[in-house]
Structure 1
Amino acid sequence: MSRTDVDANVAPVWHRGRKAMHVAMVGLAIPFVFPTWWMITSSLLPQNEVLAYPPKLFPTSPQWSNYRDAFADYPLAQQYLNSLYIAALVTVGTMTVASLAGYAFARIRFRGANALFVLVIVGLLIPSEVTIIPLFKLVDALGLTNTHWPLVIIPIFGAPSVLGTFIMRQFFIALPDELEEAGRLDGLGRFGLFRRVALPLARPALASVAIFTFLNSWNLYLEPLVYLSDKSKFTLPLALTQYTDAYGGHLWNIQLAASVTTVLPVLLVFVLAQRHFVEGLAQTGLKG
């Protein structure tokens, strides 16, 4: 039997296997897609139909006024801006700290570097609930309660920065030494090598750090709950708890409409950095 005949027999089997794999992947995706679809469609329903059974997944008369009410009757716009600028500051600050620390651990040889790195990584094992009380006492002593400063400063030097440092270190370790040697021949010092050689090549890793950090800051609930008391200073996770009627019952349709709007910035950040994000995860796992 010739090679052509073998290929002709194998091709239909390969195509059937590929179709079966696609069908299986679509089936596995349904449990993950369904909650998002239900959230979007339920945000367009009247209050008394949100919890109907079976759920209404295709609204016949969409109530777009739910989105208007989410912003008109509550300070959601201000709370939206609060989350945006806090997440942006935390992301930029964490990228700066993590890239500098990651480069130092990866490319600068000094005594105790490995032990110090392990000590830093241990910070990931400490739950935020354990440190929230001493941190609150510190913030209160500094007079920073009911301000956004704790939500900006603490994450930059906390767990998100530790994770970012690990990602950046793994990336910088994988860089060839020849790149820095060429930079030294051009007269660059240590900081020049970092800024002009290593950092421009680290865009994939920086994209990974940016997405993880932005998502972490965007979803913070415990810390804003502890540090903030003024509704105008709330971030979005806290803002979503304010949609109640006079009797304390949840206004599910308006709450879900507000929830849909909170997903949009995260999707935008991921879409913009998706290619670099995937590349960064692949490259930071090349070398331990």
Structure 2
Amino acid sequence: MSSRLSPRAKVLLYGTLCVLAIPFVFPTWWMVTSSVKPVSEIFAFPPSLIPTSVSFAGYREAFATQPFARQYLNSAYIALVVTFGTLAVSSLAGYAFARIRFRGQNALFLVVLLGLLIPSEVTIVPLFRMFNAAGMVDTHWPLILVPILGAPSVLATFIMRQFFIALPVELEEAARLDGLGRFATFWRIALPLSRPALGAVSIFTFLHSWNLYLEPIVFLSTPEKFTLPQALTQFVDAYGGPMWNIQLSAASLTAIPVLVVFVIAQRQFIEGLAHTGLKG
């Protein structure tokens, strides 16, 4: 579409997009640049877009003040495990709801979707009692099991189901004629074709796990086991006031994996969401 526009229209279009992007880009730019500013310059008015003096002391102190490297590793491995676990559960469940016909299928799928309507705050107390009885409090197991078997996996199952419904049935029928069973058809035919949907599920699952805050503050109490959202609240001085340069440095480091994941899988994310509503 953009190739058919005149040069003047292209300039106007890109200029408008740049202006509209300012409210989204400016906070991130301010966070990154302020992380290398002196504390006195962070809240200067008007705010400076480019720091007059650069100091990386905040980044060094972020790792010296608390076990930030360990907390970073905690968030990384939990997010990866949750992402792969959700992909496994949602792809199998979505394929089953899309291709296997059984009595009460639609009613069961509706019950599964109702899980999206239940706020996490409602279930956090029963979950705490359950994990406490199992001896899993102050471990990472609740942060792994709850997202894989909870609302994020429900949304992922819905996306995968819609994508598999949109796939031509003839592809799987041809595989059946070649002697492939149900699981082999799923593994060799359906799953490789669902890369756009898998990309979409991977992005929002990774982001949800990476930014998870309520569950960590409920289930974790040992600083070495904290995840990043919980760790960011611990950069305070002796009077409980925030250490802004250290917090901004830690927050800038926290945002890097999010940007990397989105840049790598943004095309699959858009294609996956585009296929979600093709058929019902």
Shorter chain as normaliser: what TM range? over 0.9
* Aligned CA distance change for structure 1 residues 27 and 146 (closer, same or farther; 3 Å): same
- Deviations, residues 103-129 of structure 1 (Å, cap 9, x unaligned): 000011111111111111111011101
- Deviations, residues 89-114 of structure 1 (Å, cap 9, x unaligned): 10000000000000000011111111
Q: What SS does structure 2 have at the residue aligned with 1:45? A: coil
In 2, distance between residues paired with 1:140 and 1:58?
A: 49
Residue 187 of structure 1: how far off its partner (Å): 0.5
Indicate yes or no: 2:160 matched with 1:179: no
Residue 12 of structure 1: how far off its partner (Å): 11
Aligned CA RMSD, in angstroms, stands at 1.4
Match of 2:84 in 1: 92
Match of 1:160 in 2: 152
Percent identity of equivalent pairs: 66
Match of 1:34 in 2: 26
Which structure 1 segments of 5+ residues have no match? 1-10
Structure-1-length-normalised TM-score: 0.94
Indicate yes or no: 2:55 matched with 1:63: yes
Match of 2:193 in 1: 201
Match of 2:122 in 1: 130
Counterpart of 2:152, as a letter, is P
Residue 73 of structure 1: how far off its partner (Å): 2.4
* Aligned CA distance change for structure 1 residues 35 and 200 (closer, same or farther; 3 Å): same
Residue 29 of structure 1: how far off its partner (Å): 0.7
Indicate yes or no: 2:96 matched with 1:104: yes
Match of 1:8 in 2: none
- Deviations, residues 7-59 of structure 1 (Å, cap 9, x unaligned): xxxx9984333322222111111111110011011101112221222112211
Structure-2-length-normalised TM-score: 0.96
Indicate yes or no: 2:219 matched with 1:227: yes
Residue 84 of structure 1: how far off its partner (Å): 0.4
In 2, distance between residues paired with 1:66 and 1:89?
A: 30
Aligned length: 278
Q: What SS does structure 2 have at the residue aligned with 1:187? A: coil
Counterpart of 1:75, as a letter, is P
Indicate yes or no: 2:241 matched with 1:217: no
Indicate yes or no: 2:271 matched with 1:279: yes
1:74 to 62, 66, 79: 66
Q: Give the structure with higher Rg (CA).
A: 1
In 2, distance between residues paired with 1:93 and 1:13?
A: 45
